[in-house]
Structure 1
Amino acid sequence: MSSIEKDKIPSSLSSSSSSSSLPLSTPFVDFSKGINGFDKVILRESRGSSAEVYLYGGHVTSWKNDHGEELLFLSSKAAFKPPKAIRGGIPICFPQFGSHGTLDQHGFARNRIWAVENDPPPFPTNTLNKAFVDLILNPSEEDTKIWPHSFEFRLRVALGPGGDLMLTSRIRNTNSDGKPFSFTFAYHTYFSVSDISEVRVEGLETLDYLDNLQNKERFTEQGDALTFESEVDKIYLSTPTKIAIIDHEKKRTFVLRKDGLPDAVVWNPWDKKAKAMADFGDDEYKHMLCVEAAAIEKTITLKPGEEWKGRLELSAVPSSYCSGQLDPQRVLQGS
């Protein structure tokens, strides 16, 4: 966390900005209309990978590798209709994760219209990354009634040359009354998997977690890896910067690398809750797993002028078998 000078933001770049302020498309970044006429941004890398970002929610709804295979789960019943958040992809949970007080479940950032920032402040930029978009969210009058703080939330979504998906969030306190504010945060990432029963997660073993299915009681994870045979909703604490999701059937491993995000949420609703959700197919729980880079246990507090940054990098790599099992340590210890 660092204290920095306030940047001047053009008044036109508010959360209610229309598509008329969208920049011109390039071979790497294409601006177009998506479902229900929502503005969306398509990022394309020269080798063939792509990502899709809706301005509604600053929401990544698609991430495909260079073979055109979809790597994120998006429900066939996802509602692209305010105020409902989009079910799947990568919703942004801010200024809270979960449900507390008068705020929406998981906060309001995921169901607001973000703006493209045409003249962004400098992010650390890899000159090889030409497929990226910078978005900004400022609070509306409605937002300040339910969460009385002024902030700037800048989000960069980028595709690396190898097809890696990178999300960098910068949140700054711009209160003029001298008051700090506190928040929790998560990248609520839905991964597409072949079959939840064929998936294991490495990197969270032996860690403490809060079990949301048991009134947030604290436990210690047992076993060599996480496997799934029933509903799971856990917040893992003080997690490593790297976590691996191994999909045995697809022989694919997702690698999460994160910075500024000490916690990790693991969630799958299983059959009963899946059937109870209007925007989720009855059997779709079999083909998704949420592993979310988050900052939940300890709230983040910013004084006016201070900024927090949380970064997530996702990779999808082929898995190799070793003695009949996937060898996750090769992934976790690799670069």
Structure 2
Amino acid sequence: MVDRPNKPSALASTPGLPPQPQVNISHANSRVSAVLPTGESIEVLLFGATVTSWKDRAGNEKLWVSDAAKLDGSKAVRGGIPLVFPVFGTAPDHAQTSKLPQHGFARNSKWEFLGKSSSESTPSTSQSDASVKLDFGLSSATLDEKTKELWPYTFSAIYTVTLTPDGLRTGIVINNDGDKPFDCQFLCHTYLRINDITKVEITGLENSKYIDKVDGAKTKSQSGAVTITGETDRVYTSEPTIVVTEGGSTVFKIERDNLENVVVWNPWTEKAASMGDFEPKDGFKNMICVEAGSVAGWTTLEAGDAYEGAQTISY
């Protein structure tokens, strides 16, 4: 072998990028999952764009999902974070939405996965800075014919789920793409997993007005922290920050952006027993719904208008 006196020097090694968030589509293209380099993960069912799992880096599940929940697209998921749009509950006296099923059609519709984006990482960026954003879309064009007949308005919605090492953010943008105004309501029906409902307190709702749906929809005022001692179904209007504690320790902090209402729900014994997809029947001891939304009244979107709202849950 001839020794070349002027041979080129070896290239300097290029430092590699740190590990990146991983996103996968599985179950016959019906679920999207994401895992951060630090170990946090989420899973989203395209049916309803429902977040069905959110785990911290140690693998602890943060959301409650019924053991009898249907994940095959046959009905809305009992648990996780179902989406309520364009009506909360039923509204028989509201002409535009009176024919719609309970909680509207968003949680019962097939959403499209629009793609992912992740935080920009450089060789100097820590793994703890990594995050991933998943976008999902639904529009009037993709609804089934029956739903279009029940709600004949032209819209598009982009729902964004962002996972960070510190928490989970879910947000929506709803556009009126037609020439007719429509009214709507929106809510993230979030089922939070806890260990013992009798040790849970919810703060941030003190002195707030609420509608008590268990007591004839009477308007009441909250005094002190919210505790759960029986069936609870309340619609609060409150300040943006809500804190859930268990045994005196903070387990969740919920920040709301342009979502003025909070629904607090727990079915307790009899209600849980009456729901076929609620299992185990004593599962109410391990969950509390703290639901950020705009549902006490109606948001009217004129032609070309858009509505935007979001929540961020940390622990």
Q: 2:239: which partner in 1?
A: 240
Aligned ranges 1:265-304 → 2 under 5 Å: 265-281=263-279, 282-304=281-303
Q: 2:139: which partner in 1?
A: 138
Q: 2:24: which partner in 1?
A: 31
Question: Cα distance, 1:254 vs. partner?
Answer: 0.0
Tell me the amino acid that sits aligned with residue 197 of structure 1: T
RMSD, matched Cα: 1.9
Q: Which runs of 5+ in 2 are unaligned?
A: 1-18, 92-97, 121-128
Q: Work out whether residues 29 and 132 of structure 1, in 8 Å CA contact, stay in contact via their aligned partners in 2.
A: no
Question: Cα distance, 1:68 vs. partner?
Answer: 0.7
Question: Cα distance, 1:236 vs. partner?
Answer: 0.3
Q: 1:53: which partner in 2?
A: 44
For the pair 1:110 / 2:87, whether they are aligned, the reply is no
- Inter-partner Cα distance in structure 1 for 2:114 and 2:240: 29
For the pair 1:225 / 2:216, whether they are aligned, the reply is no
Same amino acid, percent of matched pairs: 34
Give TM-score, length-normalised by structure 1: 0.79
Which of 70, 73, 80 is 1:79 aligned to? 70
Question: Cα distance, 1:312 vs. partner?
Answer: 0.8
Give TM-score, length-normalised by structure 2: 0.84
Q: 1:182: which partner in 2?
A: 183
- Inter-partner Cα distance in structure 2 for 1:40 and 1:247: 32
For the pair 1:156 / 2:164, whether they are aligned, the reply is no
For the pair 1:309 / 2:284, whether they are aligned, the reply is no
Structure 2 SS opposite 1:275:
helix
Q: 1:66: which partner in 2?
A: 57
Aligned ranges 1:120-139 → 2 under 5 Å: 127=120, 130-139=131-140
- Inter-partner Cα distance in structure 2 for 1:235 and 1:245: 16
Structure 2 SS opposite 1:99:
coil
Aligned ranges 1:177-216 → 2 under 5 Å: 178-216=179-217
Q: 1:315 to 1:130 in 2, by over 3 A?
A: closer
Deviations 1:208-236 (A, max 9, x none): 000111221101112x2011111100000
Tell me the amino acid that sits aligned with residue 147 of structure 1: W
Question: Cα distance, 1:179 vs. partner?
Answer: 1.1
Question: Cα distance, 1:31 vs. partner?
Answer: 2.5
Tell me the amino acid that sits aligned with residue 203 of structure 1: G
Deviations 1:174-219 (A, max 9, x none): 11xx211110111000000001101000000111000111221101
- Inter-partner Cα distance in structure 2 for 1:280 and 1:305: 40
- Inter-partner Cα distance in structure 2 for 1:111 and 1:164: 26
- Inter-partner Cα distance in structure 1 for 2:50 and 2:267: 21
Structure 2 SS opposite 1:210:
strand
Question: Cα distance, 1:83 vs. partner?
Answer: 4.0
Tell me the amino acid that sits aligned with residue 193 of structure 2: S
For the pair 1:43 / 2:34, whether they are aligned, the reply is yes
- Inter-partner Cα distance in structure 2 for 1:28 and 1:155: 19
- Inter-partner Cα distance in structure 2 for 1:51 and 1:82: 19
Q: 1:16: which partner in 2?
A: none
Question: Cα distance, 1:158 vs. partner?
Answer: 0.9
Q: 2:170: which partner in 1?
A: 167
Q: 1:163 to 1:49 in 2, by over 3 A?
A: farther
Question: Cα distance, 1:143 vs. partner?
Answer: 2.1
Which of 253, 256, 267 is 1:255 aligned to? 253
- Inter-partner Cα distance in structure 1 for 2:174 and 2:135: 13
Runs of 4+ in 1 over 3 A off after TM superposition: 125-130
Structure 1 SS opposite 2:278:
coil
Structure 1 SS opposite 2:146:
helix
Q: Work out whether residues 129 and 159 of structure 1, in 8 Å CA contact, stay in contact via their aligned partners in 2.
A: no
Structure 2 SS opposite 1:85:
coil
Question: Cα distance, 1:260 vs. partner?
Answer: 0.9
Q: Work out whether residues 22 and 36 of structure 2, in 8 Å CA contact, stay in contact via their aligned partners in 1.
A: no
Tell me the amino acid that sits aligned with residue 295 of structure 1: S
- Inter-partner Cα distance in structure 2 for 1:148 and 1:291: 31
User: Over alpha carbons, which structure has the higher Rg?
Assistant: 2
Deviations 1:137-171 (A, max 9, x none): 012233221111011010111112x2310111000
Tell me the amino acid that sits aligned with residue 150 of structure 1: T
Question: Cα distance, 1:248 vs. partner?
Answer: 1.6
Q: Work out whether residues 37 and 130 of structure 2, in 8 Å CA contact, stay in contact via their aligned partners in 1.
A: no
Q: Work out whether residues 38 and 56 of structure 1, in 8 Å CA contact, stay in contact via their aligned partners in 2.
A: no
Question: Cα distance, 1:32 vs. partner?
Answer: 2.8
Q: Work out whether residues 198 and 227 of structure 2, in 8 Å CA contact, stay in contact via their aligned partners in 1.
A: yes
